[in-house]
Chains A and B, each alone.
Chain A
C-alpha cells in the first residue's frame, strides 16, 4: 500500500537520480550558496561516478565485514569456541570506542593512500555492529526450540543452518543495516586520504570555501543513507513475514 512516507521516499529517490544524471537542472537552487563566478555544481569529476564509487566501497567493505563477522559469531557460539565468547563481547565494546578517523589514519602508513585504507577502516568498523547483533541473535534463541531440534536428531550443522541462522537472521540483518549506514557516512572521511568517494566533493567545498559543494556532497550521502536504511528495513520485514508463515 503506497502511503505517504513511501511516496516521499520514491520522490527522494527520483530527485537523487535526476540530480546525479542532470546536476545542472538544480543549479538555480544552489546558486545562492556560492559567491559570484564560483562553480555551483562539482566540476572536478562526475557526481554519478563518485556516488557509484562511494557505494562500491561501502558494498565491498560491508560484504567482507558481514562474512567475517558472521563466521566469527558462529565460531564463538559453538561449544568448542565457548572460551572466546566473553572476550568477544568485551572486544566489541572496546572496538567501538576507537574513532573512525583514528582507524583510517593509522591504516595509511600500512596500506598507503587511496581506497585501501578506507576499505580497511570501513571493514574493521563495520565488523562490530554485525558481530554484536549476530552474537545477540545466536545466543538468545528460545531454549525450547533448540531442545526440539536436538530431540529431532538434527546434527550440529543442521541445527545451525536450519534452525539457528534462520531464527537469528532478522537481528543479523539489522546489524548489517546499521553497519551500512555507518559506513556510508564514514566513507566520506576516506577522501581525506585520497579515496574516491563523495567526501571529495565536501572537502573540495571546504577548501575552496564553496558551500554549494559541501551541501550537494552531504545531501547525496544523507539521502543515500536514508533510502538504503529504509530499503533494507523493508526487505527485512518482508523476510520476517515470509519466515513467520
Chain B
C-alpha cells in the first residue's frame, strides 16, 4: 500500500477551505440596501439537507487537496466544490430572505470568498499540472461559462443582492455591456488594421522604427484618465468644425474620445510585436523565398507574416486584456461601459453595484486571456511539431 503523504500547497488550500467553511461567515443578511448586515455561518445560511451536503463536498475537496493525489482527482474535487458553493450561495439567498420581501439583501460573506479562492487555487494548480492541450482549455472555459449561464438563467442566484441590483437596471446593463464590448473590441480591431501595416513599414524602414516606437512608448506613459480627458478637446473641435463628423457620432465627450484613447494605447503592443515578429523570421527562410523568385509581396504574405503571426497574436492578446480593463475608465468621461456601475457603486458605497460592474469585466478579461493564449499556442509552429512527433 502506498504511504499517504501531505501536499504542502494542498495543506494550505485545505486550511483555507476549512477556515472558510467552519469559522468565517458564509452569507450576510441585510434588512435593506443601506443597513449594516448580520453575518450568518454556513449552517445558519442553508436549510438542513443542503448545509450537510455542502459541508460534505467541501470536506472531501479539502481532503483531496491536502493529500498527494492525482491531478485529475484534484481538478474534479475543485470543480465539485466550486459548483456546490455556487449552488449553495443561491439557496442561502432564498433561504435567508423572508418570502416576498424585495428589500432584504443577501450577499456572499468572507467565508464564501475564502472558499472560492481556495478551490479556485486548487483548480488552477491542477490545471497547471495537467497541462491540457489548448482546445481542452477552451472546452473547460466554455463548460464553466455554460454552468454560470445556467445558474443565471434558472434563477438560482436571483435572491443575491448583486442580481437584485441587476434586476433594477436590466436595460442599462445590456446597453453598457454593448458599449464596453464595442470599445474594447472596436479599438482593438482598429489598432490591428492600422498597427500591422505600420509594423511592417517600421520593419522595412529602420529610421521610421525608432521614431514611431518612441512616440507610441511616450503615449503609454500618459495616465489613462488624462489621455481620455485630453482627447475631449480635439474631438470636440472636430465635431464642431468638420461637416458630417457629428452625425457619425464624433463628440467631445462620450464614446469617441474613449475609443481614440484605447486605440492609441493599443497601437504600441501591436506595432512593436509586429516588428519583433518580423525581425525574428529566420534569414534562411527569406533567402530561400528570394531564391525561388518570390516577389517582396509574395514573401511578406507567404513567408514572413505566417512566421511572425504567433508574436503578433501575443501583442493582440496584451491589447485585448488591457482594453477590457481600461474601458471601465471610459465611464468617467461619459463613454459608458461597465465602469458606469463601478463608479456609481463607489459613489454610493454600494458594494453590490461595484461588483455588478467589476465581475463581468474580470470574467471577460479572464476569458479573453484563456482563449487568446490557447490560440497563440495553436499558432506556434514548435508546438505543432512537438504534438505531431
Contact = CB atoms under 8 A, between A and B. Distances in A.
Given A87-B125, A93-B369, A108-B354, A102 B328 contact: yes
A211 B232 contact: yes
Interface stretch (B95-103, B278-286, B341-349): B341-349
Contacts of B121: 87, 91
Given A97-B321, A185-B224, A205-B229, A102 B9 contact: no
Given A99-B328, A215-B230, A222-B221, A90 B361 contact: no
A188 B9 contact: no
Contacts of B343: 105, 192
Interface residues of A, number: 46
Contacts of B230: 211, 214-215, 218
Contacts of B342: 101-102, 105
Contact of A102 (B232, B361, B369): B361
A90 B124 contact: yes
B80 interface: no
Interface residues of B, number: 47
B315 interface: no
B125 A188 contact: no
Contacts of A186: 223
A5 B110 CA distance: 52
Interface in A95-133: 96-102, 105-106, 108-109
A226 B362 contact: no
A101 B328 contact: yes
A190 to B, nearest CB: 10
Interface string A195-219: 0000100110110000100110111
B218 A222 contact: yes
A189 B369 contact: no
B225 A199 contact: yes
Given A98-B362, A189-B225, A83 B346 contact: no
Contacts of A205: 229
Contact of B346 (A86, A100, A192, A217): A192
B221 A188 contact: no
Given A33-B233, A102-B342, A87 B128 contact: yes
B151 interface: no
A218 B229 contact: yes
Contacts of A211: 229-230, 232-233
A84 interface: yes
Contact of A185 (B9, B223, B328, B357): B223
- Is chain B's interface secondary structure helix, strand, loop, or mixed overall? helix
Contacts of B306: none
B307 interface: no
A86 B129 contact: yes
Interface in B90-117: none
B269 interface: no
Contact of B361 (A94, A99, A217): A99
B289 interface: no
A199 B223 contact: yes
B229 to A, nearest CB: 4
Contacts of B351: 109
A13 to B, nearest CB: 15
Contacts of B67: none
Contact of B224 (A83, A84, A90, A189): A189
B128 A101 contact: no
B8 interface: yes
B328 A221 contact: no
B324 A218 contact: no
B349 to A, nearest CB: 7
Contacts of B124: 87, 90-91, 94
B339 A101 contact: yes
B125 A99 contact: no
Given A94-B366, A102-B325, A202 B225 contact: yes
Interface in B188-245: 218, 221-227, 229-230, 232-233
B138 interface: no
Interface in B341-386: 342-343, 345-346, 349, 351, 354-355, 357-358, 361-362, 365-366, 368-369, 373
Contacts of A81: 8
B25 to A, nearest CB: 15
Q: Interface centre among B121, B222, B229, B339, by most A CB within 10 Å? A: B229
B65 interface: no
B332 interface: yes
Contacts of A217: 226
A102 B229 contact: no
Contacts of B129: 86
Contact of B365 (A98, A184, A185): A98
Nearest to A215: B230
A147 to B, nearest CB: 27
A109 to B, nearest CB: 4
A102 B328 CA distance: 9
B354 A188 contact: no
A39 B233 CA distance: 17
Given A99-B326, A203-B225, A211-B229, 7 more contacts: A99-B358, A102-B325, A188-B224, A193-B346, A214-B226, A214-B229, A218-B230
24 contacts: A87-B121, A90-B125, A97-B366, A97-B369, A99-B326, A101-B329, A101-B361, A102-B361, A105-B342, A108-B349, A181-B221, A189-B329, A192-B346, A193-B346, A199-B223, A202-B229, A206-B332, A206-B333, A214-B230, A215-B226, A217-B226, A218-B229, A222-B218, A222-B223
